[in-house]
Amino acid sequence: MVPLTWYLMLSAVVFMIGVFGFLTRRNIIIMFLSVELMLNGVNISLVAFSHYLQDLRGQILVFFIITVAAAEAAIGLAIILALFRNKATIHVDEMNEMKG
Amino acid sequence: MNYYLLIPFLPLAAFIINILFGRSVLKENAHWVSILAVAGSWVVAVATLMDVISGKTLNQNLYTWIVSGSFKVSVGFLIDQLTAVMLIVVTTCSTLIHIYSVGYMHGDKGYYRFFSYLSLFTFCMLMLVMANNFLQLYFGWEGVGLCSYFLIGYYFDKKSASDAGKKAFIVNRFGDFGFGLGIIMIFITFGTVYYEPVFNQAGSFAANTVNFLGYDVNLITLIALLLFCGSIGKSAQLPLHVWLPDAMEGPTPVSALIHAATMVTAGVFLVARCNAIFSLSETALMVVALTGAITSLFAATIGLVQNDLKRIIAYSTISQLGYMFLACGVGGYTAGVFHLYTHAFFKALLFLCAGSVMHAMGGELDIQKMGGLKKYMPVTYGTMFLASLSIAGVPGLAGFFSKDEILWLAYSGPSPVGKLVWLIGTVVAFLTAFYSFRLIFLTFHGKFRGTHEQEHHLHESPKTMTITLMLLCIGAVSAGWVGIPALIGDAVGLENWISEFMRPVLGHPEGHGTHAEEWMVMAISIAAGFAGIGLAYFLYLRRTDIPARLSEQFSWVHRILFNKYYVDELYSLILIRPTIWSAKNILIGITDAKVIEAIVNGVPNAIGSFSRQLRKVQTGLLQHYAMIMATGVLIIVALMLLR
Amino acid sequence: MQPVMPDLGPVFPETVLTVLALVLLLADLVIKRKETIGLLSIISVTAVAYLLAGSLGTTFGGMFISDGYSIFFKLIFILNVILTVLISVKYIQIEKIDYGEYYSLILFATLGMMLMASAGDLIILYLGLELMALSTYVLAGFMRRDVKSNEAAMKYFLLGAFASAFLLYGTSLIYGLTGTTDLKAISSYIAGHGLAGNPVLMLSLIMFAVAFSFKIAAAPFHMWAPDVYEGAPTSITAFMSVGPKAAGFAVLGRVFLTAFGSVRTEWVLILIPVAILTMGVGNIVALSQTNIKRMLAYSSIAHAGYALLGIISGTADGLSSVMLYMFAYAFMNMGAFAVIIMLRSEGFRGDNINDYEGLAKTHPVPAVLMTIFMFSLTGIPTTVGFMGKFYVFMSAVEAGYMWVVIIAVIFSAISAYFYLRIIMYMWMREPKEAVELTTSPAIGLALLITATAVIGFGILPSSILTFARLAITGF
């Protein structure tokens, strides 16, 4: 039997990898994938809690998160597409039209 | 819904209509809206007075603006005897002066603006007198102050006018600061700002003391004196009287309405309204009485030697306001309000006559350059003569009754300073008669001393103005008949109606003296009045060489009086110049203007440059934003851990 | 087991709105004039507003709560839709983005906000929040050919997703700790087990605070707001500055006062610095802005700071004052944006502060209206903005946060500078070039509604205040 803490540690690690990816990478797609990673970190902990609490809510929430993430991906890619059409780049460094 | 609501809101409606449509639509007809509105208010005010006479008083909250805990800001009206009298004074004077302005302001380029300000002023003044709580009173108080500022500086392209406006505004700040503190003290003490509970409970706080600037002072005395600070500013009493003479820079109808009949009497109204508080503190009453007495003497003596037509009347106003405070200070609130009421008529009339003279003289104000105007402008002369008789206290005219009542109460009342202020009051009565008739004789009698062009131009004023003068004159003559003293009244079967009428709000202190004493006081005041008139006649019509000789012989006295006791110079010396001097020499001299710059511009500049620095944090780069968010999270986590 | 139909009464308005939004999406295919769809969307939300009154109740096992509190916020959202549509109709033609989806997306975003306001469970909260967020991401980038709009959408999207992940992490922690996602159950678990000071609870509290701060644009999680507000279509900026912010406050109030009510002393420690920083950054940086949309973005940040004071005070009065504040803010901000939109015309952006020079001479009526809105945003008495500020500040004073209120008042005084600067430009400067205004009956109506409300509720605030206070009885 794997103890709960292991799952939680994994979850935290995956979440933090996501955070660091988001903070350090410049490519929008990679940044977006990092966010997905953060979400998956959350998913791991939710499923683990759900299992240990013997309660279905956590897993239900995970389903919703996956669904929303899919929708988010669609919208994110659409935005990136529109942006790429106008600027021919997907590097966030080159996107500072607005500042101050 | 009560119809009395119309009283303040008709002028407000007129203001809104004029300010919105005055420039584009109404133009030369702007006065119609204002006059109809204020005349409507007058009609309703009369109806309200009738209601009050028949015993219907009213204290009603109209609507509550904000509530927070025990703090409540609301609009409510208190209609009682005092309010009713004030309503009549305000609406009557306002209506007549509106009509007068049609002729006086004819052809002015800001015609609609003038009338919209007048309407706004009337609204604020009515809100002030109809309030049933201190906050609304304060609103009206500041409102009339603001309108006064606008109207004094009405000819804003004239520097002296805009300076005078500023001066009035700034000087009033001093008084209003105290007044505001007083209201805050009332709220802290009573937990409410409504008149009714405050006045009812005031008695139970009479013995409380409070630490103020390190001294233990009686709470009620402190509140009363703080409120009185407001009165001193608004009613131009010593030492804050300096703004009123300068306020004469405004158009004359404004001087008549705001700086004679209504706004400046708000201070007296405040004291009368708060009589429940003032009566509890002997100290406060004494301060009120002495301030009033000294101011009235002080202003009357200045009035003796001035040559500016409007300024003489302005000093006369200050002096008469002092009289009203004197009355309140000896406990004669009714007498004070009675004098306020009669004074409104004859003083407004004096100003309007002065306006009429100015109209004829093409703006000339120096009475030394006038003379003999009697035959050119008979109506103006006649009405002004009656007004002056009234202010001089000639028996039978309005001023006589109110003045006599004040002097008798001062003489016979319980006040410890009563006898003293009676003496001062009598002297002032003499001086008042003297300078009022000096003005009349120099202006209307003798030979014309101005230029030929002016003489050629002399004419009686248009009908709108002269009719107003005559109407006001009726008031100046007869307004006092509602307050015929019992001494005479009993003999001819008339009662002192106003005292009885006001008794429920203001009480009615009885003088303790014999009939003989009362006759004596009356006789002395009449004698003082006639002596003043006689002396003026003698000096300015019979032996015209004496005044010049006197002023030479007593040149130092003349100089002091002519320069108004150097109060302006004193302020300049102890307040204004040290400020400027230290600014110039210490600050500019030592720090090469950097310190002042730092104070005046530094703070905004520092914030501005800080702002421009802070802007740079917003780099436009997503990564930085995310980084700042993450840092924020970390800082909060650290904050919670380190707690 | 007999299948039990849940009570659909409380969720009926939302159901109707979903259906109507989908119908609009279909209607878009056959209706060529897009104004019609705008009109239909107004009719839809009005119908929903009508249904709200009968929807009181709790359903889906406490997951969905329709109470006075949520209804009050839903009315703000509906008002937001109506005003947004009114100011959009002409504007989106000028920007050449008059597609039917525009209105459907606004309705879906509003649906998300309504779910948020009614959420009695963290799952519903998350779903509502994402529905709102995803719709607004798209709306922010609706000007597909405009680089600024693209950039705004991209920034909003990435940072929004980032913040959502924090919300989920907080949810998962609180779920693990208490074994439930129901707000009331969480509350009773925390109180029952004496969890105050528990590190996991603290961590999840922080995560929630971060996510909600992001939505209401509170510093330091506000960084997206200025860029997104500037880049998004102006009508959407107006929409975003009112709706999602109000929704953020709705969930902030619900979650922090219901679920975490017993550990108030803990989260106050987070929110006070956030509020002060928010007011500081918002007001100070706004001083040096030259673009009016950007200035209003910082102003919007600052207003979030003021409104936070109501949450911080944590009392019923505090909560109702926040509701009043959001209500007031909806009108004054929408009004200001309506004027800004009027300045946008074919070939003229009109979002620079200099464009307002001498507006009073050339177009007095919009100048007067803008003056009213700026006065209200400053918080000058007899405007609704003053009411909002007054009650928020008073509630904080009564809760014993005098010092925070003093800071707030100082920042509020600073804010007068940049609001009054607009007025100064309009009234005291000479017009440089003739500014053409784009007017339409719809925008006129929007201005009429907002200006009347700003003055009307400024003079007669008692009705709305009583409503707000009634709404939270039994919260």
- Whether the model clears a pTM of 0.80, i.e. scores above it, the answer is no
Write out the DSSP string of C235-283: HHHHHHHHHHHHHHHHHHHHIIIIITGGGHHHHHHHHHHHHHHHHHHHH
C148: DSSP letter: H
Q: How far apart are CA C336 and CA C241, in angstroms?
A: 11
**Res. B568: pLDDT tops 80:** no
Q: How far apart are CA B37 and CA B29, in angstroms?
A: 14
Overall average pLDDT of the B430-448 stretch: 85
| B68 and chain C in contact, CB less than 8 A | yes
**Res. C53: pLDDT tops 90:** no
Overall average pLDDT of the C274-279 stretch: 95
| B610 and chain C in contact, CB less than 8 A | yes
Rounded (5°) CA angle B186-B188-B189: 65
Residue B631 neighbours by CB distance under 10 Å: 11
- Tokens 């963290």 locate to C122
Identify all chain C residues contacting B633, using CB atoms and an 8 Å cutoff. Answer: 166, 206, 210
pLDDT of residue C131: 96
- Cα–Cα distances in Å, from B589 out to B276, B583, B585, C405? 54, 8, 5, 40
Enumerate residues 6+ apart whose C-beta is below 8 A from C352.
C290, C291, C292
Chain B residues with CB under 8 Å of a chain A CB are 615-616, 618-623, 626-627, 630
Residue to mutate among C167, C214, C223, with most B CBs inside 10 A, is: C223
Identify all chain A residues contacting C152, using CB atoms and an 8 Å cutoff. Answer: 98
Most confident of B28-42, B335-349, B452-466, C268-282: C268-282
pLDDT of residue C298: 94
Rounded (5°) CA angle B378-B381-B383: 105
Overall average pLDDT of the C337-360 stretch: 88
Identify all chain C residues contacting A76, using CB atoms and an 8 Å cutoff. Answer: 157-158, 161
Contact B381, B457 (CB under 8 A): no
Q: How far apart are CA B249 and CA C89, in angstroms?
A: 55
| A19 and chain B in contact, CB less than 8 A | yes
Identify all chain C residues contacting B610, using CB atoms and an 8 Å cutoff. Answer: 284
Over residues C307-326, the pLDDT tens digits come to 999 999 988 889 999 999 99
Overall average pLDDT of the C417-444 stretch: 86
Percent of chain B with pLDDT over 70: 93
**Res. B388: pLDDT tops 50:** yes
Enumerate residues 6+ apart whose C-beta is below 8 A from C389.
C306, C325, C379, C412
Over residues B83-137, the pLDDT tens digits come to 888 888 889 888 888 888 887 877 777 788 888 888 899 999 998 888 888 888 8
Contact B391, B436 (CB under 8 A): yes
pLDDT of residue A29: 92
Average pLDDT, chain C: 91
Residue B308's DSSP bridge partners are B366
Q: Which one, of C76, C79, C139, lies nearest residue C103 by Cα?
A: C139
- CA nearest B607 in C: which residue? C284
- CA nearest B627 in A: which residue? A23
Q: How far apart are CA B447 and CA B373, in angstroms?
A: 8
Q: How far apart are CA B297 and CA B492, in angstroms?
A: 34
Contact C288 B69 (CB under 8 A): no
pLDDT of residue B592: 52
Over residues B489-509, the pLDDT tens digits come to 666 666 677 777 877 777 766
Percent of chain B with pLDDT over 90: 2
For residue C194, is it left (φ>0), alpha (ψ between -120 and 50) or beta? Answer: left
Contact C338, C443 (CB under 8 A): yes
Enumerate residues 6+ apart whose C-beta is below 8 A from B219.
B185, B189, B205, B208, B209, B210
B223-232, C80-89, C138-147: least confidently modelled range: B223-232
pLDDT of residue B246: 82
Of A23, A97, A98, the CB nearest to B627: A23
What three-state secondary structure class fits C350? coil
pLDDT of residue C326: 95
pLDDT of residue C195: 84
Q: In degrees to the nearest 10, what's the CA dihedral of B238, B243, B249, B255? A: -60
Burial level of C157, CB count in 10 A (0-12/13-18/19+)?
A: buried
Percent of chain C with pLDDT over 70: 100
pLDDT of residue C338: 94
Residue A27's DSSP bridge partners are A91
For residue C344, is it left (φ>0), alpha (ψ between -120 and 50) or beta? Answer: beta
Average pLDDT, chain B: 82
pLDDT of residue C127: 95
Residue B211's DSSP bridge partners are B216
pLDDT of residue C332: 94
Per-residue confidence at B1, pLDDT binned at 50, 70, 90? Answer: very low
Q: How far apart are CA B23 and CA A1, in angstroms?
A: 88
Average pLDDT, chain A: 92
Q: Where are the beta strands (DSSP E) in C283-343?
A: none
Of C147, C165, C294, the CB nearest to A97: C147
Most confident of B9-18, B143-152, B634-643, C270-279: C270-279
Percent of chain C with pLDDT over 90: 69
Please list the alpha-helical segments (H only) found in C34-146.
Answer: 34-52, 68-94, 100-118, 122-140
Using alpha carbons only, how large is chain B's radius of gyration in Å?
27
Over residues B6-65, the pLDDT tens digits come to 888 888 888 888 877 777 776 777 788 888 888 888 898 888 888 888 888 888 887 777
**Res. C358: pLDDT tops 50:** yes
**Res. B194: pLDDT tops 60:** yes
**Res. B591: pLDDT tops 60:** no
More confident of the two residues C229 and B164: C229
List the subunits that have 3+ CB pairs under 8 angstroms with C: A, B
Residue B216's DSSP bridge partners are B211
* Tokens linked to C123: 């799952």
Burial level of C238, CB count in 10 A (0-12/13-18/19+)?
A: buried
pLDDT of residue B462: 80
| A35 and chain B in contact, CB less than 8 A | no
- Rounded (10°) angle between helices C100-118 and C68-94: 160
Identify all chain A residues contacting B637, using CB atoms and an 8 Å cutoff. Answer: none
Q: How far apart are CA C110 and CA C136, in angstroms?
A: 10
Over residues A12-61, the pLDDT tens digits come to 999 999 999 999 999 999 999 999 999 999 999 999 999 999 999 999 99
Contact C376, C415 (CB under 8 A): no
Overall average pLDDT of the C89-117 stretch: 93
Q: How far apart are CA A90 and CA A92, in angstroms?
A: 6
Enumerate residues 6+ apart whose C-beta is below 8 A from B288.
B228, B271, B278, B325, B328, B329
List the subunits that have 3+ CB pairs under 8 angstroms with A: B, C
Contact C161 A97 (CB under 8 A): no
Strands C57-59 and C64-66, bridge-based pairing:
antiparallel
Over residues B368-386, the pLDDT tens digits come to 787 777 778 888 888 888 8
Contact A93 B623 (CB under 8 A): yes
B459-463, B590-594, C78-82: least confidently modelled range: B590-594
Q: Which one, of B271, B278, B270, B317, lies nearest residue B296 by Cα?
A: B317
Q: How far apart are CA B494 and CA B484, in angstroms?
A: 7
- Cα–Cα distances in Å, from B315 out to B62, B145, B220, B307? 39, 19, 32, 12
Contact A19 B619 (CB under 8 A): no
Contact B474, B396 (CB under 8 A): no
Per-residue confidence at C328, pLDDT binned at 50, 70, 90? Answer: very high
Contact C229, C242 (CB under 8 A): no
Of B611, B625, B640, the CB nearest to C269: B640
pLDDT of residue C241: 93
Q: How far apart are CA B258 and CA B165, in angstroms?
A: 13
| A30 and chain B in contact, CB less than 8 A | no
Residue to mutate among C168, C186, C200, with most A CBs inside 10 A, is: C168
- CA nearest C172 in A: which residue? A46
